[in-house]
A and B are shown apart, each in its own frame.
Chain A
Amino acid sequence: MSVQLLDRELDRLEGLWSDGLADAYRDYLDAVQHFEPDLQAKLALAAALIELGIRLQGLGGRAAPPTTLLMGDLCLARGSRILADNAPLAVQVAFARAVESMSTAAASEQPAPPARNLLRLSLGAEG
């Protein structure tokens, strides 16, 4: 991923890069190989942001304190915006459905499948 893209998309979230975001991003890179080269980094980053956002919020576990929740919200929103600008419709919808299912499980106090598995599957969604 270009330094410029990273700078722009990690604005205000720089501290998270070394706090799990980089690892998640690298892992998702494997799941985006079927996309055009210029989209791969963006979509991997979007997935990593969404996964990290959910983790920061404490979704499905103990609620995060307010300031951490807000960071999680920003991760989710930015990941969602990157998807809106770059991902095919089917992938956008699959990501949304993944978050819906994890949220429903959390609200029902039921265990949810690991976020990474769901989001990797979402990257493979076809229209």
Chain B
Amino acid sequence: MSATRLEFATSEATEFIDLTDRIRERVMQAGLRTGRVHLQSLHTTVGLCVNENEPLLHRDFEAMLERIAPIGAGYEHDDFTRRFDIAVDEPVNGHAHCRQLLLSAFLTLLVEEGQLVLGRWQSVFAVELDGPRHRELALQVEGEFARPLSREVPESLVEVELTRQLMVDPEPVAVPMRRLVEAGGKRLRPKLVQLTAGIGPRNDPLRAAELAAAVELLHNATLIHDDYVDESTHRRGRPTVAAAEGPERAIAVGDYYFAKATRLIAEMGNPAVTSALAEALEAICASQIDDVALRGAYPGDRESYLRVVRGKTASLFAAACASGALLSEASPDVVGALRRYGDLLGTAFQMADDMVDFSPSSGKPVGLDIRQRVLSLPLIYAAEDRQVGPEVRRLLEGALGDAEVGRVTELVTASGALPRVRQEADALIDAAVRELEAVQLDGLRPTLVGLARSAVDRNS
């Protein structure tokens, strides 16, 4: 059993609100395969019905309600002189209550094979009888569920697994990695592994958490080397390994966890998973070389940017999605769709991350990417802009002190580059979501869609 509320706002005095798609979404989210959806109006002037979504028919219904219970037809309910405890905003709505009597306050819909059982022309409506108002329905689903009701991934399992792995490692490598892991991070990659590992027939949350933790260690290993290459002093609010303990230690710690993560993945005994992640790691390393090479022509162009981002960021998102699905023995078309979803999501994620560099409210220092000459799509667009481009390019050619970084940030913000990047990231997320439409994901689609949207909906 799952119980939730369905909220909506109405804009007319009498209005038919089609809730069919929202109810379908709730059924999918709950993972209900066979059972019932119960709806109950929480208002005395909102009814429920199943009928056809045809605007002229709705006008017929409204006319019928008006004929049977006309507005202002001398309802005793509207005679406030004879009533007690009347609210100051009590509406004159005797007609609406009477009309509600003609409808129902309750509905039960059947669900079979995860789908609402509705006829070709049937839609589910809430009928506003005294709007406009904010309204609420109670919704319960009961029956047989394909999976546990909640599709929330057990993130704590990954944290436990990370802690467990770091406990057994030698201190000289474990201490710096523990500092990085404990500093947090979004854990998007392990989350993708865990989610997609629930799709196929072999759904084992513990194995999924082991793989997810290994992927997070692999990601962190690449970050440790990146920070040395980028001369970054801080990550996640703490000193980088290279800054705190020197480049020699950073190289050793990165190598250790690169090797350890590779081993943990191999020991899972699924060659397709091992290959998927090994390919991603190779793509990351190759793109990192391209990234550094492109800094000679900073800020570069969109094509080069996309090539680097797809290798450096998107490849691990794609491999995380594919490897989770492969671990659960999902079908090849599902694995392929999830891989493409991850690739698009990873690229969009990086674009959103670029935008954070220009947001004073993000909590990160503004202009850090510019200062470190990190590839950034907003900067590329601003540099190509007819008005601000020449000044941006001139500033980037020289030394980048506080004043120059501040000015470049102003120019990028004024150029319209940020909304353009945002639009592009949104389009990639739309494409990622479309990849999920053609395959059977057993109720996981809404979670993956939500994760994709939230990944780019950042403080930018």
Contacts and interface: CB of A to CB of B under 8 A. Distances in A.
B256 A103 contact: yes
Interface stretch (B28-36, B284-292, B353-361): B284-292
A63 B262 contact: no
Query: Which of B247, B258, B262 has the most chain A CB within a 10 Å cutoff?
Result: B262
A102 B172 CA distance: 12
A127 to B, nearest CB: 11
B170 interface: yes
A93 B263 contact: yes
Nearest to B175: A107
B297 to A, nearest CB: 15
B178 interface: no
B24 to A, nearest CB: 41
A38 interface: no
B427 interface: no
Nearest to B245: A107
Interface residues of B, number: 38
A107 B55 CA distance: 72
A58 interface: yes
Contacts of A73: 225, 285, 288
Contacts of A85: 275, 278
A99 interface: yes
Nearest to A64: B251
A51 B108 CA distance: 67
A92 B255 contact: no
A42 B282 CA distance: 16
B246 interface: yes
Nearest to A62: B248
A108 B228 CA distance: 19
Contacts of A108: 170, 172
Nearest to A91: B266
A93 B284 CA distance: 22
Contact of A77 (B260, B266, B282): B282
B271 A84 contact: yes
A76 B279 contact: no
B249 interface: yes
A12 B269 CA distance: 30
Contact of A96 (B229, B249, B259): B259
Interface string A31-60: 000000000000000000000001001111
B281 interface: yes
Interface string A57-80: 111111110110111011011101
A108 B284 CA distance: 27
A30 interface: no
A26 interface: no
B286 A93 contact: no
A73 B259 CA distance: 11
Given A70-B229, A107-B170, 10 more contacts: A62-B248, A66-B229, A67-B292, A70-B292, A76-B258, A77-B258, A80-B262, A100-B260, A102-B255, A103-B259
- By Cβ-Cβ distance, the 9 closest A-B pairs, closest first, are A96-B263, A63-B247, A99-B259, A103-B256, A107-B172, A84-B278, A107-B252, A106-B252, A81-B278
Interface of B: 170, 172-173, 225, 228-229, 246-253, 255-256, 258-260, 262-263, 266-267, 269, 271, 274-275, 277-279, 281-282, 284-286, 288-289, 292
20 contacts: A60-B252, A63-B228, A67-B289, A70-B289, A73-B285, A74-B286, A74-B289, A77-B281, A80-B281, A81-B281, A84-B275, A85-B278, A89-B267, A93-B266, A95-B259, A96-B259, A96-B263, A99-B256, A106-B255, A107-B249
Interface of A: 12, 54, 57-64, 66-67, 69-71, 73-74, 76-78, 80-81, 83-85, 89, 92-93, 95-100, 102-104, 106-108
